[in-house]
Chains A and B, each alone.
Chain A
Amino acid sequence: MSVPTGLHPSPRARPGLRLDLAAAIVLFAALVVASLLVGVGDLGGAGGLQLLVVSRVPRTLAAILTGAGLAIAGLVMQTLAKNRFVEPMTAGTGQAAGLGILAMTILAPGASIALKSLAATVAAFAGTALFLALVRRLPPTQPFLVPLFAIVYGGVVGAVTTAVAWETDLLQYLDIWTNGEFSAVMQGRYELLWVNAAIVAAAWWVADRLTILSLGRDTAVGLGLNYAVMLQAGLAIVALVAGVTVATVGAIPFVGLVVPALVARRYGEDVRAVLPIIAAGGAGLVLACDLLARVVRFPYELPVGTVLAVVGAAVFLAVIFARPRQT
Chain B
Amino acid sequence: MPDALADTAPGTPKVAPNAAPADRGPLLRAHRRRARLALAGLALAALVAAAISMTIGLRGNIAFALELRAVRLAALVQVAVAIAVSTVVFQTVTGNRILTPSIMGMDSLYLLVQSVLVLALGAAGFSALPAGLTFAGEAALMALLAAALFLPILRQRGDVVLMLLAGVVLGALFRGLSSLVARLIDPNTFAIVQSVSFADFNTVDERLLLPCILLTLAGTALIWRSRHVLDIMALGADDAVGLGVDWRRTAVGLVLVVGVLVAVSTALVGPVAFLGLLVVALAERLAGTTRHAVLLPAAALTGVVLLVGGQTVLAHVFGNALTLGIVIEFAGGLLFLVLLLSSRLR
Q: Could you list which residues of chain A lie within 8 angstroms of chain B, going by C-beta atoms?
A: 85, 90, 134, 137-139, 142, 144-145, 147-149, 151-153, 155-156, 159-160, 162-163, 166-167, 253, 296-297, 302-303, 306-307, 309-310, 313-314, 316-317, 320-321
Q: Are B175 and A148 in contact (CB-based, < 8 A)? A: no
User: A142-B161, A155-B273, A159-B329 known; A166 and B323 CB under 8 Å?
Assistant: yes
Is B68 at the interface (CB under 8 A from chain A)?
no
- Max count, chain A CB within 10 A of own CB: residue among B175, B321, B326: B326
Q: Are B326 and A145 in contact (CB-based, < 8 A)? A: no
Which of B25-33, B53-61, B118-126, B335-343 lines the interface with chain A?
B335-343
Contacts of A320 in B (CB 8 A): 162, 165-166, 169
Q: Are B326 and A162 in contact (CB-based, < 8 A)? A: yes
Pick from B169, B179, B184: contact of A316, CB below 8 A: B169
Is B281 at the interface (CB under 8 A from chain A)?
no
Q: Are A306 and B176 in contact (CB-based, < 8 A)? A: yes
CB nearest to A311 among chain B residues = B176
Is B310 at the interface (CB under 8 A from chain A)?
no
User: A163-B326, A302-B183, A310-B173 known; A152 and B333 CB under 8 Å?
Assistant: yes
Q: Please report the C-alpha to C-alpha distance between residue A317 and residue B173 in the assembled complex, in whole angstroms.
A: 9
Is B164 at the interface (CB under 8 A from chain A)?
yes
Contacts of A145 in B (CB 8 A): 161, 340, 345
Q: Are B341 and A310 in contact (CB-based, < 8 A)? A: no
User: A159-B329, A166-B322, A306-B176 known; A137 and B341 CB under 8 Å?
Assistant: yes
Query: What is the CB-to-nearest-CB distance from A84 to chain B, in angstroms, rounded to a whole number?
Result: 12
Q: Are A148 and B164 in contact (CB-based, < 8 A)? A: yes
Mind listing 28 A-B residue pairs with CB under 8 Å? A139-B343, A142-B161, A142-B346, A144-B162, A148-B164, A148-B340, A151-B165, A151-B168, A151-B169, A152-B168, A152-B333, A156-B329, A159-B329, A162-B326, A162-B329, A163-B327, A296-B184, A297-B183, A297-B184, A302-B180, A306-B176, A307-B180, A309-B173, A309-B179, A313-B173, A313-B176, A320-B166, A320-B169
Q: Please report the C-alpha to C-alpha distance between residue A166 and residue B318 in the assembled complex, in whole angstroms.
A: 14
CB nearest to B183 among chain A residues = A302
Q: Please report the C-alpha to C-alpha distance between residue A321 and residue B156 in the assembled complex, in whole angstroms.
A: 11
Pick from B161, B165, B177: contact of A310, CB below 8 A: B177
User: A138-B340, A153-B337, A302-B183 known; A309 and B172 CB under 8 Å?
Assistant: yes
Contacts of B179 in A (CB 8 A): 306, 309
Contacts of A166 in B (CB 8 A): 322-323, 326
Query: What is the CB-to-nearest-CB distance from A129 to chain B, in angstroms, rounded to a whole number?
Result: 16
Q: Are A155 and B329 in contact (CB-based, < 8 A)? A: yes
Query: What is the CB-to-nearest-CB distance from B155 to chain A, in angstroms, rounded to a whole number?
Result: 13
Contacts of A147 in B (CB 8 A): 165
Query: What is the CB-to-nearest-CB distance from A171 to chain B, in angstroms, rounded to a whole number?
Result: 10
Q: Are A167 and B169 in contact (CB-based, < 8 A)? A: no
CB nearest to A155 among chain B residues = B333
Is B15 at the interface (CB under 8 A from chain A)?
no
User: A145-B345, A167-B321 known; A317 and B166 CB under 8 Å?
Assistant: yes
Is B170 at the interface (CB under 8 A from chain A)?
yes
In terms of DSSP, what is the predominant structure of the interface of chain B?
helix
Query: What is the CB-to-nearest-CB distance from A146 to chain B, in angstroms, rounded to a whole number?
Result: 9
Q: Are A159 and B330 in contact (CB-based, < 8 A)? A: yes
**Per-position contact with A for B145-187: 1 when CB-CB < 8 Å, else 0?**
0000000000000010110111011101101110110011000
Contacts of A156 in B (CB 8 A): 329-330, 333-334, 337
Q: Please report the C-alpha to C-alpha distance between residue A309 and residue B172 in the assembled complex, in whole angstroms.
A: 7
Query: What is the CB-to-nearest-CB distance from A143 to chain B, in angstroms, rounded to a whole number?
Result: 8
Contacts of A163 in B (CB 8 A): 322, 326-327, 330
- Given A85-B165, A138-B341, 14 new contacts (CB under 8 A): A134-B341, A139-B346, A144-B159, A145-B340, A151-B165, A151-B172, A152-B336, A166-B322, A166-B326, A306-B183, A309-B172, A310-B177, A313-B172, A320-B165
- Nearest first, the 8 closest Cβ-Cβ pairs linking A and B are A309-B176, A313-B173, A156-B333, A310-B176, A159-B329, A159-B330, A144-B161, A144-B165
CB nearest to A148 among chain B residues = B165
Q: Please report the C-alpha to C-alpha distance between residue A90 and residue B175 in the assembled complex, in whole angstroms.
A: 14
Query: What is the CB-to-nearest-CB distance from B271 to chain A, in angstroms, rounded to a whole number?
Result: 12
Query: What is the CB-to-nearest-CB distance from A212 to chain B, in angstroms, rounded to a whole number?
Result: 28
Contacts of B180 in A (CB 8 A): 302, 306-307, 309-310
Pick from A149, A302, A303: contact of B337, CB below 8 A: A149
**Per-position contact with A for B57-88: 1 when CB-CB < 8 Å, else 0?**
00000000000000000000000000000000
Among B261-290, those with CB < 8 Å from A are 273
Contacts of B327 in A (CB 8 A): 163
Q: Please report the C-alpha to C-alpha distance between residue A313 and residue B176 in the assembled complex, in whole angstroms.
A: 8
CB nearest to B329 among chain A residues = A159
Q: Please report the C-alpha to C-alpha distance between residue A316 and residue B176 in the assembled complex, in whole angstroms.
A: 13
Pick from B173, B322, B345: contact of A314, CB below 8 A: B173
Q: Are A317 and B169 in contact (CB-based, < 8 A)? A: yes
Query: What is the CB-to-nearest-CB distance from A323 to chain B, in angstroms, rounded to a whole number?
Result: 9
CB nearest to B182 among chain A residues = A306
